[in-house]
Amino acid sequence: MAQTIVFAQSKGGTGKSTMAFQVATALMSTGATVGAIDFDVQASLALFAGIREQTEAEPIEMLEIPRPEDYEEYVKRSPLDYIVVDTGGYDEETQRLAIFLADVVVVPFRDSMADIGGMMGFQENLVMSLREKWNEFEVCCVVNFAHIFAGKSIEEAAIEVDSMEGMRYLGGVNGDKTFCLRDRKIYKTSLDAGKGVTELQNKDEGKTAATEEIERLTFLILEEIKRRNG
Ligand SMILES: Nc1ncnc2c1ncn2[C@@H]1O[C@H](COP(=O)(O)OP(=O)(O)OP(=O)(O)O)[C@@H](O)[C@H]1O
Ligand SMILES: [Mg+2]
């Protein structure tokens, strides 16, 4: 049975596909077997996986989208360790199911008033309706695109989403409400190179800040899965 890590957010351009690719490749670096499902008609994740196929790196196995009635069984029967799922911003039956059945749902957002306001819509339309089916359903939110010097605004954004029913800040269990992904060019250029930042380490310079962020993101996601299934 595969664990599913689903990236979701109704607002576009918040970093779902980028994080899906970075986390998938970070998990592969640890030796895990990883497949991916791309629900988005824009197929960004499939595109990144295609670029990767042109390199010597281990390919990301793109999986077919199962029919809604087959989804749960498909995941249960999968021999893979993880399935990383990228969703489009729109609401559709199988995507909703993937979100509902996920081992962890990661929701990237910006630490701006507009984005936090938008998170309320996401919470009302999606999270609350899934909580009617299962009252423990919740999603993990994480700030992406944080300004390199932003400090307090991240914590404030984290506290704000943490206060919404069914929404938690990723890593908040351990009291860390300062974790975020910063706005870094390398998140984009690494996709163009078909590799995740954890695979781009320059041995002479040691780990880059981006590598540390993605390793931490992946660690917090795995902790979250353990916490839920524990
Ligand atoms: N932390 C970051 N720093 C810099 N650029 C980023 C970061 N995260 C994402 N990007 C860039 O921002 C753009 C949007 O990201 P991405 O496509 O991952 O968002 P998305 O939520 O999947 O969007 P969509 O809703 O269209 O599917 C991409 O060009 C990506 O490379
Ligand atoms: Mg996308």
Out of 23-32, 96-105, 123-132, 201-210, which region has the weakest mean confidence (pLDDT)? 201-210
pLDDT of residue 175: 66
Q: pLDDT digit string (tens) for 79-117? A: 999 999 999 989 899 999 999 999 999 999 999 999 999
The CATH number of the domain holding residue 160 is: 3.40.50.300
Give the tokens for residue 34: 């990883």
Q: Judge contact between 129 and 37, C-beta under 8 A.
A: no
Ligand 2 mean position, distance from CA 56 (Å): 24
Domain that holds residue 188: 3-229
Nearest-ligand number for the alpha carbon of 19 = 1
CA-based nearest residue to 153, from 129, 190, 178:
178
> What is the rounded CA–CA span in Å between residue 12 and residue 16?
8
Give the tokens for residue 3: 């664990």
> What is the rounded CA–CA span in Å between residue 210 and residue 197?
7
Length of the chain in terms of residues written:
230
The neighbourhood of ligand 2, an ion, using CB within 5 A, equals: 16-17, 44
Atom of ligand 1 nearest to the CA of 86: 22
Q: pLDDT digit string (tens) for 37-86? A: 999 999 999 999 999 999 999 999 999 999 999 999 999 999 999 999 99
Give the tokens for residue 41: 């008609």
- Cα 47 to chain centroid distance, Å, stands at 17
Q: How many domains does the chain have?
A: 1
pLDDT of residue 171: 84
Residue bearing the CA closest to ligand 1, atom 16: 15
pTM over 0.85: yes
Q: How many CA atoms lie within 13 A of 199 on its CB side?
A: 24
